[in-house]
Structure 1
Amino acid sequence: MPDFTAMEQATLIKDFNDQQKMLFVSQYESVRKDPGTVLILSVLFGAFGVDRFILGDMGMGLVKLFTLGGCGIITIIDWFTTKGRANDYNRARAHEIAESIRITSAS
């Protein structure tokens, strides 16, 4: 999936007031994973599942750790898919944060 852009982020929080927007941005920036950094970690330490652990995929991280990246096969595949997974992770966290702010504001 393509990058999680600022335009998507703006669309997600368009109905927020200024305080809610600041809350969203601060929470999102604290959980956001940089796709480039995750890719570098995948190249350097992917055989140990570090990239999967960072993105919250504990099961596959453990598989990679105990099989040394599926004998390198899963590691090589992850080099090409890590940036997309990082963007999906960021998009999911942004939606969770926005939804929790909406729920909190409604009550």
Structure 2
Amino acid sequence: MNRIINFFPDLELEEASFIDGIIQDYSDEEVKNFAMLYRSRRKDPQMILILALVGIFGVAGIHRFIINQVGMGVLYFLTGGLCLIGTIVDLVNYKSLAFEYNQKMAFEVKAYMSMSQK
């Protein structure tokens, strides 16, 4: 886990462990390339929290658009965050929303790197 911490010192333990499992067979150069690609696609949980807060006081669903859940974003927008209940639930679960999105991005980066090596 030490290799990924060098590139992402601010990762929480759960995400760092997940990423470490993905890159365990990578060389140092591959870890560097993975980190660069992953950093460009990763969403910070704090950003999801802030955008969910915007949903309470302004436009609901922005955080769902950011994590590529367009259908839910439209639904939240049209229903006022499902009458604010959905937005409040997302405020509580913002870390898991970000982690799920980041997992998908990590798998995409890994697949991209595998395809580009062939």
Q: Sort the TM-score into its range (normalised by shorter chain).
A: 0.7 to 0.9
What residue is the counterpart of 1:13 in the other structure? 23
Distance 1:97 1:17 in 2: 15
Question: Pick from 13, 22, 32: which aligns with 2:32?
Answer: 22
Q: Percent identity?
A: 32
Distance 2:85 2:39 in 1: 32
* DSSP 3-state at the match of 1:5: helix
What residue is the counterpart of 1:37 in the other structure? 47
Task: Provide the aligned C-alpha RMSD in A.
Answer: 1.8
Distance 1:68 1:5 in 2: 31
Q: Tell me the CA shift for residue 4 of structure 1.
A: 4.2
TM-score using structure 2 length: 0.78
Question: Pick from 69, 80, 97: which aligns with 1:57?
Answer: 69
Alignment of 1:83 with 2:95, yes or no, is: yes
The amino acid that maps onto 1:75 is T
Q: Which of structure 1's runs of 4+ aligned residues deviate more than 4 A?
A: none
* DSSP 3-state at the match of 1:95: helix
What residue is the counterpart of 2:60 in the other structure? 48
Distance 2:62 2:13 in 1: 21
Q: What is the aligned residue count?
A: 105
Q: Tell me the CA shift for residue 22 of structure 1.
A: 1.4
* DSSP 3-state at the match of 2:93: helix
**Aligned pair in 2 of structure 1 residues 18, 88: CA closer, same or farther (>3 Å)?**
same
The amino acid that maps onto 2:102 is N
TM-score using structure 1 length: 0.85
The amino acid that maps onto 1:21 is V
Distance 2:13 2:61 in 1: 23
* DSSP 3-state at the match of 1:9: helix
Quick check: 1:51–1:82 contact (8 Å CA) kept in 2?
Answer: no
Gaps in structure 1 of 5+ consecutive residues:
none
Q: Tell me the CA shift for residue 51 of structure 1.
A: 0.9
Gaps in structure 2 of 5+ consecutive residues:
1-11
